[in-house]
Structure 1
Amino acid sequence: MSFSILTDLDWLAVLVATVAFFALGGLWYSTLLFGKIWSRAVGLDMAGDEKPPVTIYLMPLLTCFVSSLALAMLANATGTDTVGEALALGVVAGLGLAAMALLVTGFFDPKKPQPMTWVAVTAGYHLLGLIVVSLIVALWP
């Protein structure tokens, strides 16, 4: 694989996957799902009235884009174009790469009050998010 593969990508699929991954994160870390659990795990006190600055969303959006781009490159390079292949790619990337990197980070992080809870919530997001991204970039018409 080389970077010339970038010319073969469907960039609209990459952008849609980026937005889907980012939106999933907004839902995942909201109080509707795992926001309170995640906050306790990292020792944050989330004030109800406090609004975060808009800039706090830029880094996650950038990382969602880079992850979507990387998976689009891998899907293209491996010829991934079926639901089964896309699911396999998402699981390999989400569990085999993202979750394992998070696990070792959490294992050696004495600063978080509940590091393994943080790993579970964060790795779960990345696993599901990368599966969604894989499905989008591999199956985009």
Structure 2
Amino acid sequence: MSFSVLADLNWLAVIVSTIAFFALGGLWYSNLLFGKIWSRAVGWEMDGDEKPPVTIYLMPLLTCFVTSIAVAMLAAATGTDTFGEAIALGVVTGLGLAAMALLVTGFFDPKKPQPMAWVAITAGYHLVGILVVSVIVALWQ
């Protein structure tokens, strides 16, 4: 695989998958799902009227974009173009790469009050998000 594959990517699929991955994060880390548990797991309590800095949103958007590009490149390089192949790509990259990197990070992080809760929530988000990205970029070539 070379970086020349970038010219052949469906950039609209990359942008849509970026937005889907980012929106999933907004829901995943909201108080409707795992926001309160995640905040306790990392020991991060914001005051009710405290406004988070804009980087709280920009950094995840950037990482979702880079992840979408990487998954699209892998889909192109492996010829992934069916739903089943997209699920396999999402599991391999989401579980085999993202979740395992987060697991070792959480395992060796004594600063978090509940590191394994953090790992479960964060790795779950990345696994589901990368599955969504994989399906979008694989089927929309």
Q: TM-score when scaled to structure 1?
A: 0.98
Q: Secondary structure at the match of 2:7?
A: helix
| Equivalent residue, structure 2, for 1:66 | 66
Query: What is the aligned length?
Result: 141
1:30 CA displacement: 0.4
Q: Which amino acid aligns with 1:65?
A: F
For 2:57 and 2:3, the matched residues in 1 are separated by: 28
Letter in 2 for 1:53: P
1:103 equivalenced with 2:103 (yes/no): yes
1:50 shift after superposition: 1.6
Aligned to 2:119: 119
The one-letter code matched in structure 2 to 1:92 is V
Determine the C-alpha separation between the residues in 1 that align with 2:56 and 2:40: 19
Q: Report the CA distance between 1:21 and its aligned residue.
A: 0.3
Question: Please, which runs of 5 or more residues in structure 2 have no aligned partner?
Answer: none
Paired with 1:54 and 1:103, the residues of 2 have a C-alpha distance of 27
In structure 2, the partner of 1:35 is 35
Deviation larger for 42-51 or 114-123: 42-51
TM-score, with structure 2 as normaliser: 0.98
Q: Unmatched 5+ residue regions in structure 1?
A: none
Amino acid at match of 1:29: Y
User: Once the 2 structures are TM-superposed, how far is the Cα of residue 47 of structure 1 from its aligned partner?
Assistant: 2.0
Q: Which moved further from structure 2: 53-62 or 87-96? A: 53-62
Post-superposition shift, 1:46?
2.6
Q: Percent identity?
A: 83
- Correspondences of 1:1-141 after superposition (within 5 Å): 1-140=1-140
- Give the letter aligned to residue 8 of structure 2: D
> How much has 1:38 moved relative to structure 2?
0.3
For 1:47 and 1:101, locate their aligned partners in 2 and report how far apart those are by CA, in whole Å: 31
